[in-house]
């Protein structure tokens, strides 16, 4: 049943009237009388009214008219940051922005802009991507069923072959047993025939002795006794000789060790099912929606002379064992990660700087970069590989061997940049290598949409390259000694950690000037830095974990 939409002004007067029109500006229904008053009033006569039936078509479109941070009405629009603002946003985060206009002005002619058609196209492309993914999973399911069937067939065929082979082995062994048994029985029968013959002879001699004793003369008895005695002695010796050459037989079955393993259940498995995973590598199309409702100005490059730091949080690294912080990252949930190169763990802290726990990784982690809400990339220095790692599940999604040492890394535009000594390896987020760029430096890099920045600690300079590896600028200054960690902002300016100058500085996008932002005491060993472009927050840390802090960039 369709719900009734009441007239907003009438409800205010505690009366109930069904609305016949909807004001898209006031976001409430109007009955016939209130509609007339709405059109008569100067401040509302220009408001757009649509029928209730038309309103129902857009009723479920998720549009927020209030600020998610301050729960106040969105009244302004910042062109520089392409963001709708409430009064609180305007007075705090966008106070210095010059391109803030009323949101009504920004929204004028929005229906005629290309943004809507771009959005429609983006949805269509995304739907095609979803269809591609669904088709891929359906195909994968069918492939799994086929793999299952084929594997079952192999198992059953193997079982039949084993049975057939065992039957043959059994028949062969039985035949050997029969042959052995026949040979043994033949030997026994030979002796039996001999003994039966001797038995008959002795019975005859016994009968002859009785008859001789009864009927023969003394001379015959005398001579016959001696002659028959010789015959008996001869038979006795023959029996003794035969008895010494007789054998008793006992069969002993010696099973083949492999067969014995089967019969004794030593073989625990028929086999193993191994599942090999490989990325589907679907060609997911992307489309960029150009916010054409308004004419945005190209953001002017920020002058580093105006950049200041505001301390948000000091992070006290939990000191258990040796600490050597070489990399850091700000996660999408605002948690902080630190790579401790002296252990096989990442250290996790919340945005208030409180310790959360350790994340076990494959080796000694050197540097970290965030890929999305679940994945990070980790380099392992001299171990010659890096990983794509799911930090939420503490699970290695993919390990990529590079054949060379892997030090600093960064990501931009869906690509992962990994420092290999004098080169930079470029990989996609699946870990597939795309190309190699030559770039000076040894340890740390930072990537933007158009450039790659490299610190060269051995030559005390910092270089900027385009994405083809061509040098754009090189910065060298006496105040920059042993540069290490680098991180760029959205204007192309570069934050640089100076290890031997004990400082953090920012180099302007053109590489011509710099400004010192932090100066530390000489007991500190500044090492790494990362920058969150969405929140304009910078995380700085030293090697000992004694001067780690989170700053707001003003």
Per residue in 439-467, pLDDT (tens digit) is 888 899 999 988 999 999 889 999 999 99
DSSP string, 54-98: HHHHHTTS----B-TTT--B--EEETTTTEEE-HHHHHHTTTT-S
Of residues 56 and 321, more confidence is placed in 56
Spatial contact of 311 and 305, defined as CB atoms under 8 Å apart: no
CB contact set of 171 (below 8 Å; sequence gap of 6+): none
The DSSP secondary-structure symbol of 270 reads S
Per residue in 32-66, pLDDT (tens digit) is 999 999 999 888 888 889 898 888 887 777 677 78
Helix (H) or strand (E) holding 455: strand 451-456
pLDDT at site 2: 64
Using 50, 70 and 90 to split pLDDT, how confident is the model at 253? confident
Which pairing describes strands 548-553 and 537-542: parallel, antiparallel, or unpaired? antiparallel
pLDDT at site 276: 67
- Please give the class, per CATH, of domain 1-63: alpha beta
pLDDT at site 81: 84
pLDDT at site 532: 92
Per residue in 129-141, pLDDT (tens digit) is 888 889 888 988 9
CB-based burial label for 242 (10 Å; 0-12, 13-18, 19+) = middle
Per residue in 91-131, pLDDT (tens digit) is 888 888 888 899 888 888 777 666 777 777 788 888 888 88
pLDDT at site 366: 96
366 vs 402: CA distance, rounded Å: 15
Each domain of the chain, given as residue ranges in start order, spans 1-63, 117-263, 304-553
User: Is the per-residue pLDDT at 14 higher than 70?
Assistant: yes
Per residue in 179-197, pLDDT (tens digit) is 999 999 999 999 999 999 9
pLDDT at site 96: 81
Say how many C-beta atoms besides its own lie within 10 A of residue 482's C-beta: 16
User: Is the per-residue pLDDT at 298 higher than 50?
Assistant: no
Per residue in 489-526, pLDDT (tens digit) is 988 999 999 988 889 999 999 999 999 999 888 778 89
Tell me how far apart the terminal alpha carbons of the chain are, to the nearest angstrom: 54
Per residue in 236-246, pLDDT (tens digit) is 999 999 888 89
Average pLDDT, rounded, for the chain: 87
Find out if CATH 2.120.10.30 is the number for domain 304-553. Answer: yes
Q: What is the pTM of this model?
A: 0.51
CB contact set of 235 (below 8 Å; sequence gap of 6+): 198, 201, 202
The yes-or-no answer to whether 1-63 and 304-553 have a common fold is: no
pLDDT above 90: percentage of residues in the chain: 45
441 vs 494: CA distance, rounded Å: 16
Among 454, 502, 451, residue whose Cα is nearest residue 479: 502
Structure tokens at 16: 């109930």
pLDDT above 70: percentage of residues in the chain: 94
- Residue 492, by phi and psi: left (phi above 0), alpha (psi -120 to 50) or beta? left
Chain CA centroid to CA 178, Å: 62
pLDDT at site 289: 43
pLDDT at site 295: 43
Using 50, 70 and 90 to split pLDDT, how confident is the model at 297? very low
pLDDT at site 227: 92
Using 50, 70 and 90 to split pLDDT, how confident is the model at 82? confident
Using 50, 70 and 90 to split pLDDT, how confident is the model at 25? confident
Average pLDDT over residues 396-405: 90
pLDDT at site 535: 87
Compute CA distances 483 → 290, 317, 455, 522, 536, whole Å: 38, 23, 6, 15, 22
User: Is the per-residue pLDDT at 264 higher than 80?
Assistant: no
Among 69, 103, 68, residue whose Cα is nearest residue 84: 103
pLDDT at site 537: 94
pLDDT at site 286: 61
User: Is the per-residue pLDDT at 290 higher than 80?
Assistant: no
Per residue in 188-227, pLDDT (tens digit) is 999 999 999 999 999 999 999 999 988 888 899 899 899 9
Say how many C-beta atoms besides its own lie within 10 A of residue 143's C-beta: 10
């Amino acid at each position: 049943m369709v719900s009734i939409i009441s007239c907003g002004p009438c409800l205010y007067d505690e009366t109930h009237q069904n609305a016949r029109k909807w004001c898209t500006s006031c976001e409430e229904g109007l009955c016939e009388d209130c509609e007339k008053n709405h059109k008569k009033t100067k401040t509302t006569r220009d408001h757009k009214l649509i029928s209730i039936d038309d309103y129902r078509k857009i009723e479920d479109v998720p549009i927020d008219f209030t600020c998610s941070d301050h729960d106040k009405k969105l009244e302004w629009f910042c062109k520089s940051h392409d963001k709708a603002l409430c009064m609180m946003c305007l007075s705090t985060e966008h106070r210095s922005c010059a391109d803030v206009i009323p949101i009504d002005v920004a929204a004028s002619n929005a229906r005629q802009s290309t943004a809507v058609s771009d959005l429609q196209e983006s949805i269509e492309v995304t739907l095609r991507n979803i269809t591609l993914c669904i088709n891929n999973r359906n195909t994968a399911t069918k492939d799994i069923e086929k793999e299952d069937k084929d594997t079952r067939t192999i198992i059953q065929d193997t079982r039949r072959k084993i049975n057939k082979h065992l039957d043959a082995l059994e028949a062969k062994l039985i035949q050997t047993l029969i042959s052995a048994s026949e040979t043994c029985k033949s030997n026994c029968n030979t002796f039996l025939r001999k003994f039966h013959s001797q038995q008959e002879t002795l019975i005859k001699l016994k009968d002859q002795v009785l008859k001789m004793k009864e009927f023969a003369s003394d001379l015959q008895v005398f001579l016959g006794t001696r002659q028959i005695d010789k015959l008996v002695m001869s038979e006795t010796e023959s029996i003794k000789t035969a008895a010494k050459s007789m054998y008793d037989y006992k069969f002993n079955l010696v099973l083949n060790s492999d067969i014995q393993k089967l019969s004794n259940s030593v073989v625990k498995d028929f086999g193993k099912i191994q599942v090999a995973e490989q990325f589907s590598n679907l060609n997911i199309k992307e489309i960029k929606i150009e916010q054409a409702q308004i004419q945005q100005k190209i953001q002017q490059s920020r002058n580093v002379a105006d950049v200041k730091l505001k301390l948000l949080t000091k992070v006290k690294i939990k000191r258990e064992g040796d600490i050597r912080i070489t990399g850091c990252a700000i996660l999408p949930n605002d948690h902080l990660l630190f790579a401790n190169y002296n252990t096989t763990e990442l250290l996790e802290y919340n945005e208030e700087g409180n310790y959360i726990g350790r994340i076990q990784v494959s080796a000694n982690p050197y540097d970290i970069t965030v890929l999305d809400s679940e994945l990070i990339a980790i380099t392992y220095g001299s171990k010659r590989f890096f990983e794509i790692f799911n930090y939420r599940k503490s699970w290695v999604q993919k390990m990529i061997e590079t054949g060379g040492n892997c030090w600093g890394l960064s990501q931009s535009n869906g690509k992962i940049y990994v420092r290999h000594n004098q080169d930079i390896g470029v990989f996609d987020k699946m870990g597939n290598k795309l190309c190699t760029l030559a770039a000076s430096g040894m340890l740390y890099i930072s990537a933007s949409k158009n450039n790659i920045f490299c610190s060269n600690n051995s030559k005390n300079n910092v270089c900027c390259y385009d994405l083809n590896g061509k040098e754009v600028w090189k910065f060298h200054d006496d105040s920059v000694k042993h540069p290490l960690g680098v991180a760029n902002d959205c204007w192309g300016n570069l934050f640089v950690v100076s290890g031997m100058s004990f400082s953090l500085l920012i180099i302007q996008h053109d590489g011509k000037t710099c400004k010192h932002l932090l100066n530390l005491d000489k007991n500190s060993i500044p090492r790494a830095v990362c920058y969150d472009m969405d929140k304009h927050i910078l995380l700085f840390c030293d090697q000992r974990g004694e001067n780690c802090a989170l700053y707001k960039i003003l």
